[in-house]
Amino acid sequence: MSEPVATAGAIAAAVHAGRRSAADEVETALARIAATDSSLNAFTEVLAERARTRAVSLDRMPAAERARLPLAGVPFAVKNLFDIEGLRTLAGSRIERDRAPAARDAILIRRLEAAGAVLVGALNMDEYAYGFTTENSHAGPTRNPHDFTRIAGGSSGGSGAAVAAGQVPLTLGSDTNGSIRVPASLCGVFGLRPTYGRLPRTGSYPFVASIDALGPFARSSADLALAYSVMLGRDAGDPASLMSPQGGSAFESDRAAGMPSLDGLRIATLAGYFEDNAGEQAREAVAAVAGALGVTTHAVLAGAEHARAAAFLITNAEGGALHLDDLRARADDFDPLIRDRMLAGALLPAAWIDRARRIRQRVAFEAARLFEQFDVLLAAATPVPATPIGAATFTINGRTLAARPNMGLLTQPISCVGLPVCAVPVWSARPAWRLPVGVQIITAPWREDLALAVAAELERAGVVRAPVAAL
């Protein structure tokens, strides 16, 4: 029987104190992966030799130097669209198996390792990040650690599942339309989609360059904050990151550091579109979070349904155009779940897409106006909890919807306008609702610190939590 890994903060503290070595932590993670991944299928590559070599170098470091590394000895893994030196960057595809291996690690991997973390592997995903279920036809589906018959969500399904299963305490994923928030919601873990442009994407495989964001998954908001803080900083390799404010920290609102308390925060629950498209359990999850924060106010994001439609069209067109050469030459090598969508995206009229982009900007201004009245907005992360693998539909509020395109109904309008979101896991007390649903804590651009601070407050209140799955 393998033991799950501890949280990132606990691992770093144990390594700093000399109670555990980096090698101990890496072996715990590798043993957990070996014992559980045949059931989960979260990992597509385990880098045991690289991780052990890195752990040895950390353990040989002078203790004082190691103590300055905030993630000393913390094992982590990344969605397989991040470049890893010497490996092919698959992005969930068969086609990329024919490309050259990456010459260098992605910048966020380098930043995490510079902070003492240890990369142990690459994780499963929907092909080219175009999906919400991680039912990858080439690598097989990633299974939900809390119920193997159910999806882990996607497209960063391996990233959510690996954290929920206690294989690693920290993973990275990407989020275009909800690909961090959806698996966080369905796997019952914390996930952070930062502001568009906040974390540089240098060395990662793109999907929709005008919307894509990268971010972490973890079992606590404190771990998210730790990882997020060491990954901050612009990089010329990602032009979108150049508009990000310099500096910044996850801890700007930390009361212990004397920063503003959360007491005066103006928080509202998003009504209208976000209530209409949330199922009963999702609405109860939002009510539980709102209740713990003393929130009784509702707000409406004008144009939310337009932002969702715009996100759909921009995604479809940019995705299709990005892969046009391969669609011409070898369309049948694409995952059958995305091939025809990609082909259709390549054919869309330019005027449709330009209109979608102009409306996207319009809704971004609507969101900016809303943040003049409120600091934090709440909405469910997914309409429903995890659906069975292979399910074609789910039902909310009497409506039956296609499962694969609609699991992101509640996340798409928010990422379309580039806002930062921390997804927090809520577990119901009702026995029939044994799987979690996430809630989005949404803030104005560049205020990830507020979203993380509210998540931390909810953890302290016991309203949100990310238990390791019983495996």
Partner 1 sequence: MDTQDALARLLDANAAVLNLPISEAQRPGVLSYLALAESMHRILLPVQLGPTDESALVFVPQPPGAGHE
Residues annotated catalytic, as ranges:
79, 155, 179
Q: How far is the CB of 341 from partner 1 (least distance, A)?
A: 5
CB of 231 vs partner 1, minimal distance in Å:
16
**Window of 41-49, 59-67, 179-187, 312-320 that interacts with partner 1 by CB under 8 A:** 312-320
Q: Are 240 and 199 in contact (CB under 8 A)?
A: no
Q: Which is nearer to partner 1, 242 or 368 (CB)?
A: 242
Dihedral pair phi/psi, residue 288, rounded to 5° = -65, -45
Site for partner 1 contains 405 (CB under 8 A) = yes
Q: Say which residues have a Cβ less than 8 Å from residue 118's Cβ, sequence separation at least 6.
A: 22, 25, 26, 51, 54, 55, 58, 73, 74, 75, 76
Q: Considering the complex, state which of residue 27 and residue 366 has its C-beta at the smaller distance from partner 1.
A: 366
Stretch 221-260: interaction string toward partner 1, x if CB under 8 A: ---------------xx-xx-xx-----------------
Kindly write down the DSSP assignment for every residue of 211-278, as one continuous string. T-EEEEEESSHHHHHHHHHHH-S--TT-GGGGGSPSS--TTTT-GGGTPPPSTT--EEEE-THHHHT-
CA 124 to chain centre: 13
Q: Tell me if 392 contacts partner 1 by CB under 8 A.
A: no
One residue of 45, 61, 137, 202 binding partner 1 per CB under 8 A:
202
Told to check if 401 binds partner 1 by CB under 8 A, we report no
**Least distance from C-beta 326 to partner 1, angstroms?**
11
Q: Residue 310, interface with partner 1 (CB under 8 A)? A: yes
Closest approach, Cβ 203 to partner 1, in A, equals: 8
Of 127 and 223, the one with the shorter C-beta distance to partner 1 is 127
Using the minimum distance from each CB to partner 1, give the nearer residue, 52 or 110: 110
Q: Which is nearer to partner 1, 243 or 368 (CB)?
A: 243
Question: Residue 68 or 358: which CB sits closer to partner 1?
Answer: 358
325 to 344, contacts with partner 1 by CB under 8 A? 327-328, 331, 339-341, 343-344
String marking each residue 340-369 x if it binds partner 1 according to CB under 8 A:
xx-xxxxxxx--x-xxxxxxxxx-x-----
User: Closest separation between CB of residue 277 and partner 1, Å?
Assistant: 14
Among 26, 120, 313, 453, binds partner 1 (CB under 8 A): 313
| Nearest alpha carbon to residue 229 among 249, 245, 246 | 249
Helix 221-231 and helix 448-460: axis angle, to 10°? 160
Nearer to partner 1, 73 or 320 (CB): 320
Rounded to a whole number of angstroms, the minimum distance from the CB of residue 355 to partner 1 is 6
d(CA 250, CA 192): 11
Using CA atoms, how far apart are residues 228 and 64, in angstroms rounded to an integer? 23
SS3 174: strand
Dihedrals φ, ψ of 113, to 5°?
-70, -35
Using CB under 8 A as the binding rule, whether residue 3 contacts partner 1 is answered as no
Tokens encoding 257: 């550091």
**Are the C-beta atoms of 179 and 129 separated by less than 8 Å?**
yes
Could you give the CA distance from residue 152 to residue 160 in angstroms, rounded to a whole number? Answer: 7
* Among residues 32, 150, 283, 306, the one that binds partner 1 under rule CB under 8 A: 306
Task: For residue 423, count CB atoms less than 10 angstroms from its CB and return exposed for 0-12, middle for 13-18, buried for 19 or more.
Answer: buried
Closest CA to 216 of 49, 412, 71: 71
Total number of residues that touch partner 1 (CB under 8 A): 45
Sign of CA dihedral 268, 273, 274, 276: positive
- Residue 104 is a binding residue for partner 1 (CB under 8 A): yes
Using a 10 angstrom Cβ sphere, with 0-12 exposed, 13-18 middle and 19 or more buried, the burial of residue 346 is: middle
Nearer Cβ to partner 1 (107/424): 107
Nearest distance from C-beta of residue 104 to partner 1, angstroms: 7
d(CA 167, CA 3): 9
Both tokens of residue 462? 């016991």
CB of 359 to partner 1, least distance (A): 5
Using CB under 8 A, list all residues that contact partner 1: 104, 107, 202-203, 210, 236-237, 239-240, 242-243, 303, 305-306, 309-310, 312-313, 316, 324, 327-328, 331, 339-341, 343-349, 352, 354-362, 364, 405
